[in-house]
Amino acid sequence: MPTPLPLVPQLRGASAPTLKIQLPSRAGLGLKPEHFQEILSTLPDLGFFEIHAENYMVDGGPFHYYLTRIREHYPLSIHGVGLSIGGEAPLDLAHINRLDKLLDRYAPASFSEHLAWSSHGHVFANDLLPISYDQPTLQRVCEHIDQVQTHLKRQMLLENPATYVEFATSTMAETDFISEVIRRTGCGLLLDVNNIYVSCINHHRDPYAYLRALPHAAVGEIHLAGFAEDIDAAGDPLLIDSHGSPVAQAVWQLYQYALDCVGSVATLIERDNNIPPFDVLLAEIQQAEHLLRTSDSAVPIAQETAA
């Protein structure tokens, strides 16, 4: 049974101390209450579990009871959805403090958030909304990440977004924006392969070229998920990051290419809607594990190019 890895002190881009932490290079699963009891009764062979931070920002209750027991057996990743890193307003300090308390309680091997915004003033939108890729937004996002990493005293992974519209005011490519944020702040990259595929199809771009343009050495975790299909007003395909279906074959192929680029990295299967029986998700875990094992001996594409 895997055991949590130790935390390793490191320095981030702004030179203040933080914790750079690492999940095992295995496949993991988003933890859902439908599976709490089965997990504890069977202790399945998988690499880690991931939770959404905001579901656990209370002092007690059944979620904490089961998570405490599951955490005794598996490494944990905590994934935030409510910091609004890309928002124009200052970050919510009370929310950061609740997050800090949760991280102290469970000592996860990874913490991540989204490159998006979800609040404005006193209004909170239950969505992850896109940002404009320009210099003022870049400065604001970097300041927000510096604040979070300094307060939490640990490295944060930043997830590339799934988008359906784009700002005409953007002056940078998304990959250049993400790369510069990572360079300035020392945060890591949560590489969501499904988001890459969804966004690139929606905006008529090459997902493989997008993946090649990202800073591979910064990747600390990979996400895989399913998408829904629709048609936009122009009659073109519109993919929606629904997390409600199995990982699509095109995303599995892009994931294989991602492993060729970055090497073997902890990989999460996300399923937040239409939750199937646990053994269905285990089959996807095993597929990811197989690809991770076959990538262990491969030389990442970036290293081959450098050589």
Each of the 307 residues of the chain gets a pLDDT tens digit; together they read 433 333 333 334 444 445 666 899 999 999 999 999 999 999 999 999 999 999 999 999 999 999 999 999 999 999 998 899 999 999 999 999 999 999 999 999 999 999 985 655 665 556 567 789 999 999 999 999 999 999 999 999 999 998 888 888 999 999 999 999 999 999 999 999 999 999 999 999 999 999 999 999 999 999 999 999 888 888 888 998 898 999 999 999 999 999 999 999 999 999 999 999 999 999 999 999 999 999 865 555 554 443 3
% helix, strand, coil for the chain, step of 5: 40, 20, 40
User: Which amino acid, residue 222?
Assistant: I
Q: What are phi and psi of 48, to 5 degrees?
A: -170, 170
Burial class (CB in 10 A: 0-12, 13-18, 19+), 212: middle
Number of domains in the chain: 1
CA pair distance 27, 285, nearest whole angstrom: 6
Give the orientation angle of helix 193-202 with respect to helix 249-262, to 10 degrees. Answer: 120
**Boundaries of domain holding 147:** 8-306
CA angle 27, 32, 38 (to 5 degrees): 85
Specify which residues 11 forms β-bridges with.
17
CA pair distance 228, 249, nearest whole angstrom: 13
In a domain, 201, yes or no: yes
Cα distances (Å, whole numbers) of residue 24 to 33, 47, 224, 268:
23, 6, 16, 11
In a domain, 2, yes or no: no
223 and 190 Cβ atoms separated by less than 8 Å:
yes
In a domain, 265, yes or no: yes
**pTM to 2 decimals?**
0.89
Strands 228-231 vs 237-240: parallel, antiparallel or unpaired: antiparallel
Domain of 125: which CATH number? 3.20.20.150
H-type alpha helices, 186-229: 193-202, 207-213
In a domain, 181, yes or no: yes
CA pair distance 70, 40, nearest whole angstrom: 7
User: pLDDT per residue over 62-95, tens digit each?
Assistant: 999 999 999 999 999 999 988 999 999 999 999 9
In a domain, 3, yes or no: no
102 and 57 Cβ atoms separated by less than 8 Å:
yes
In a domain, 1, yes or no: no
